[in-house]
Structure 1
Amino acid sequence: MTELGIGIGWRPEIADAVEGLSGIDWVEVVAENICADHLPDSLTRLRERGVTVVPHGVSLGLGGADRPDPARLAALGEKAVALGAPLVTEHIAFVRAGGPLTATPQLEAGHLLPVPRTRDALDVLCENVRIAQDALPVPLALENIAALIAWPGEEMSEGRFLAELVERTGVRLLIDVANLHTNHVNRGEDPARALSELPVESIAYVHVAGGVERDGVWHDTHAHPVPPAVLGILSDLTSRVTPPGVLLERDDDFPPQDELARELRAIRAASTAVGTRSAGAAGVGSAHRHGARPSRPAPAGQLLIGAGARVSGGPMPAAPAAAVPEAAPRAGARQRLAVDQAALLSALVAGTPAPEGFDSRRLGVQARALAAKRAGVVAKVAPELPEILGKGYRPAFLAYARSRPMSGGYRRDALDFAEHLLVAGRPEDAMARRRLTEWWQDRSGSRPPGRATRLVRAARHALVRR
């Protein structure tokens, strides 16, 4: 098995720093941030140096009730081929809900939300993974996500859920040890127990990232240094198996190059300190650690292709068939999941009542986090908005987001926000309002909406809030 080694998430803001770092064996790029026919020069240079580049998707929503979108799958596959990638990765999450299965407007989360660990959800996920594996030109690996909230009535632990997913589909795993830490703090789940239940030989690579505690919960920000507890979980994992690769993720508040280098050295040390655990993780799941059962072998017939292998002579074949035949989801499973996910997402982004069994306080924390993330991403994709609105941008956007769910991506969201302000006669400053009007017209190619259009849109938003 070819090893990936130590890597870092490539982001445009730190492209020069990544190229200048010594000891970088590979990088990962957010798939939705690149075009297959126009790769960033920095990635091209890295590839020419022999650095492996892995595309990491965030928008498939394989844990959602709908079957995967063929266009999104095709785009992800094209990027894998363009990068010569040995595999692609995605998440065990849902990112949108509603639509035909529920006869309600489709809503976008703009974030990775947890899948309920139930038989219905696992059946749907397995079929979605099968569809993705058949469509993609290279093997697929799926990542466990961080969660602020827990679904009521869950039937499996995280480790058991992931193990059954691997058994039934043969999919590889991308284990994020920072997410295991997040779920330990937020949901009381034992990272060592999760590791003991996983088929660790199916791990394609590992993510490591930082976060911060706020509002009584741990937020997986990817904008803070990696804490000792996360390095401790990494050490625990590497005492059980040697993963093909380990990667540092950083998505915001990027530090200087020398600080990134220090974090990478700490990750390398934790990855090689077999059998040791950092003081930050001491005591976390120690009873499970010593009583852990041996890792199970990969399913029969499942060839674990090294994540560092190069693609030559054309794309690699799709992941091999699983040992356990896959059946279709049970009757009604997709619709039941669709209804549950739509109700949760509507509560988070449209202000509808919390579904029964959820912690309403924790839902409030998650809703505020989603709105804050949405404001931050819109500010990045449309930096003119905070420039025009100044200090008023953030409170105005958060007020808008409380009743206006995102339904068409962040760029559409930026236009809708600007339109919302202009319809309301804002901002009050005439010069700022003129600049905002010109910005909106330049990007939408339209005149501000008339009275009839405003009434229709108001009615539509009222329906979403019901």
Structure 2
Amino acid sequence: MSNPDPRYPLLGYGLGLRVQHYEEILSGDPPIDWLEVLSENYMIAGGRPLDYLARFRERYPLVMHGVSLSIGSSDPLDRDYLARLKQLAAFVEPAWISDHLCWTGVDHTNLHDLMPLPYTEEALDHVAARVREVQDFLGRRILLENVSSYIAFNASQLSESQFVAEVARRADCLILLDINNIHVSSRNHGFDARAYLADMPADRVQQFHLAGHTQQGNLVIDTHDAPIIDPVWQLYADALHRFGPISTMIERDDHIPPLADLLAELDHARAIAGPILEAAA
């Protein structure tokens, strides 16, 4: 139930930083403990985005979250991307860096989507070796996030949760556990979301994501464009019982609401966590 990696801090309750809220956050003192920034938005030589980032860095702990590492791709690792990521990390000094356990491109083409992997021994060896290479290059452990999925591979030999856990063990990396993604995938594939939590190694889970999604008929889509629903809040409570205090943040990527709406969701996360963590202390 302790902080999984004592080298990394327990940050509390944060938000994904979005342009729509820059000025309101900087001009006030909203109850936000930390901010997650999208790495690719700031991997540039200069300009206003980096000026804003410097101002946020002065006031809040920051973490970097990427969408283009493509750790599961068969393409060679993108060394130019990694160099720019490392350069940004030197500027931001993030508490940690994360990306997704997926592939996002093939034949040097970025598909701009988070594509699932077959859960096989071959894929395990491939991904774990690439994660170790990335960590050696960056000089730090990274976090990998479980993604939402809508298809399954006949070749898979493991469950998704077993695959995520084993990648973390073999690569000696950490896990960004997206609670909403577990819910979405459990609905789409018919697995037990609480059993997924039970498969996660408690000493590897470093961060939680919370978000909303969209239902289209029988399909649940991870859209990050709506409020968090009750079953996801309940799964968050289950995760707190399982893992204890974990740095938690809320994502919203479309239909961005007023900051006050996100702060209310953040307060709700605190309200859920408080009694659970007090009882476990």
User: TM over 0.5: same fold?
Assistant: yes
Q: How large is the Cα RMSD of the aligned pairs?
A: 1.7
Aligned residue for 1:274, secondary structure, equals helix
Q: For residue 198 of structure 2, what is the aligned residue in structure 1?
A: 196
> Cα deviations across residues 177-209 of structure 1 (Å, max 9, x unaligned)?
000001111111211111111112211211000
Q: For residue 9 of structure 1, what is the aligned residue in structure 2?
A: 16
Counterpart of 2:57 (choices 47, 55, 61) is 47
Q: For residue 3 of structure 2, what is the aligned residue in structure 1?
A: none
What CA distance in whole angstroms lies between the structure 1 residues aligned with 2:70 and 2:257? 31
The higher-RCO structure (CA 8 Å, 6+ apart) is: 2
Aligned residue for 2:276, secondary structure, equals coil
Structure 2, gaps ≥5 residues long: 1-5
Q: For residue 224 of structure 1, what is the aligned residue in structure 2?
A: 226
Q: For residue 93 of structure 1, what is the aligned residue in structure 2?
A: 102
Q: For residue 184 of structure 2, what is the aligned residue in structure 1?
A: 182
CA contact (8 A) 2:119 2:157 kept: yes
Q: For residue 172 of structure 1, what is the aligned residue in structure 2?
A: 174
- Structure with the largest fraction of helix: 1
**Which is greater in Rg?**
1
1:36, distance to aligned residue in structure 2 (A): 5.5
Does 2:40 match 1:32?
yes
1:264, distance to aligned residue in structure 2 (A): 0.9
CA spacing shift, 1:92–1:243, aligned 2, 3 Å: farther
What CA distance in whole angstroms lies between the structure 1 residues aligned with 2:25 and 2:192? 34
Q: 1:218-367 residue pairs with structure 2 within 5 A?
A: 218-274=220-276
1:221, distance to aligned residue in structure 2 (A): 0.7
What CA distance in whole angstroms lies between the structure 2 residues aligned with 1:55 and 1:149? 28
Aligned residue for 1:90, secondary structure, equals strand
Aligned residue for 2:55, secondary structure, equals helix
What CA distance in whole angstroms lies between the structure 1 residues aligned with 2:273 and 2:156? 32
Aligned residue for 1:247, secondary structure, equals strand
1:42, distance to aligned residue in structure 2 (A): 3.1
Letter in 1 for 2:83: A
CA spacing shift, 1:17–1:150, aligned 2, 3 Å: farther
Letter in 2 for 1:23: P
Aligned residue for 1:201, secondary structure, equals coil
Letter in 2 for 1:32: E
1:118, distance to aligned residue in structure 2 (A): 0.9
What CA distance in whole angstroms lies between the structure 1 residues aligned with 2:86 and 2:268? 33
CA spacing shift, 1:18–1:181, aligned 2, 3 Å: farther
Letter in 2 for 1:66: D
Q: For residue 160 of structure 1, what is the aligned residue in structure 2?
A: 162
1:69, distance to aligned residue in structure 2 (A): 1.1
CA spacing shift, 1:68–1:272, aligned 2, 3 Å: farther
What CA distance in whole angstroms lies between the structure 2 residues aligned with 1:273 and 1:235? 10
CA contact (8 A) 1:67 1:128 kept: no
Letter in 1 for 2:65: H
1:232, distance to aligned residue in structure 2 (A): 0.9
Query: So what's the TM-score if we normalise by structure 2?
Result: 0.90
What CA distance in whole angstroms lies between the structure 2 residues aligned with 1:166 and 1:268? 28
Q: For residue 349 of structure 1, what is the aligned residue in structure 2?
A: none
CA contact (8 A) 2:132 2:172 kept: no
Question: Alignment length, in residue pairs?
Answer: 267
Letter in 1 for 2:66: G
1:229, distance to aligned residue in structure 2 (A): 0.9
Counterpart of 1:64 (choices 73, 83, 90) is 73
What CA distance in whole angstroms lies between the structure 2 residues aligned with 1:17 and 1:187? 40
Aligned residue for 2:148, secondary structure, equals coil
Letter in 2 for 1:28: E
- Structure with the largest fraction of strand: 2
CA contact (8 A) 1:36 1:82 kept: no
CA contact (8 A) 2:211 2:227 kept: yes
Give percent identity, aligned residues only.
Answer: 33
Letter in 1 for 2:262: L
Does 2:116 match 1:114?
yes
